[in-house]
Amino acid sequence: MKKTLVVANWKMNPTTLRVAKTIFSDTKKSLSKLNGVEVVICPPSVYLSELKRLSSGNKISFGAQNCFNQEKGPWTGEISPVMLMTSGAKFIILGHSENRRGGDNDEIVNQKIKLALKSGLDVILCVGEKERDEDGHYFRFLKKQILDDLEGIGKNYLKNILIAYEPLWAIGVGAEKVITDKQLQEVTIFIKKVLVDKYNVKDFKDVRILYGGSVSYKIIDDLAETDVDGFLVGRDSLSQEKFSKLLKVIGSK
């Protein structure tokens, strides 16, 4: 049975380890009776090793939210992918729009992806347009962003890469609109095709796409019927009630 991957992006929350442990154990409880769902929790990296220590079973794994583009050295305050992996991360989110806004251009994202893959992490690469135009220029933008970010990354790594489609207009409290299942299906197929063409793979099943941007139990029903392989959840992954409802709907598909 195909499992749906749900990535919980906690961002810079919660403010204490104690609350982080509570959210983690709530998530574990919500997942215990569900089949067909796997969760990747991406907490602030300082909580990784403590949470990893509390985990058991194979339904939850951990991810980091970003890393630096160097392996080691005199880089005050920075963290390398290997450090994140040895702290318990299996995945890493890279290219999130909040980090791109902070200066991560495609070249830097590409360097980070290469280093993260070399370090043994699976990469969740976030891509997405700022706005949608009627002429469909956003398709061109998306294709360029994906190809630039994956420049020089070989086919052998394709199994370690997930693309998270996160249109900026649908993310966070300031989201302008909610994505429709039709829009999501169209972009999912488009991104899969970009990857299938780049890597010359035979099957759409070999490329995995996630969707992120205001994902909640209220809109998940239709979105889960599309060809996406999972979801990246921000705000609602921090609320026990909302996240367990969301996982339940996904688990019932």
38, 50, 71, 96: the catalytic one is 96
Is 235 a residue that touches ligand PGA (CB under 6 A)? Answer: yes
CB nearer to ligand PGA: pick between 171 and 220: 171
Is residue 212 at the binding interface for ligand PGA, with CB under 6 A as the rule?
yes
Instruction: Kindly report the number of other CB atoms within 10 A of residue 111's CB atom.
Output: 16
Tokens 């969740």 correspond to what residue? 124
137 is catalytic: no
Establish how many alpha carbons lie within 13 A of residue 44's alpha carbon, considering only the half-sphere containing its beta carbon.
13
Q: Which residues pair with 87 in a beta bridge?
A: none
Nearest to 159 by CA among 105, 89, 229, 99: 229
Beta bridge partner(s), residue 60: 39
State which of residues 43, 88, 167, 234 lies at the interface with ligand PGA (CB under 6 A).
234
Binding of residue 215 to ligand PGA (CB under 6 A): yes
CB of 235 to ligand PGA, least distance (A): 4
Q: How far apart are CA 55 and CA 101, in angstroms?
A: 33
Query: Is residue 213 part of the contact set for ligand PGA (CB under 6 A)?
Result: yes
- Closest C-alpha among 7, 200, 12, 157 to residue 91: 7
Kindly report the backbone phi and psi dihedral angles of residue 148, in degrees, each rounded to the nearest multiple of 5, phi listed first.
Answer: -65, -45
Whether 96 is catalytic is yes
61 or 237: CB nearest ligand PGA: 237
Q: Which of residues 156-195 bind ligand PGA (CB under 6 A)?
A: 166, 171-172
CB of 20 to ligand PGA, least distance (A): 17
| Per CB under 6 A, 226 contacts ligand PGA | no
175, 169 Cβ separation under 8 angstroms: yes
Among residues 154 and 209, whose Cβ is nearest to ligand PGA? 209
Instruction: Please report, as ranges, the residues that interact with ligand PGA according to CB under 6 A.
Output: 9, 166, 171-172, 212-215, 232-235
Catalytic residues: 96, 166
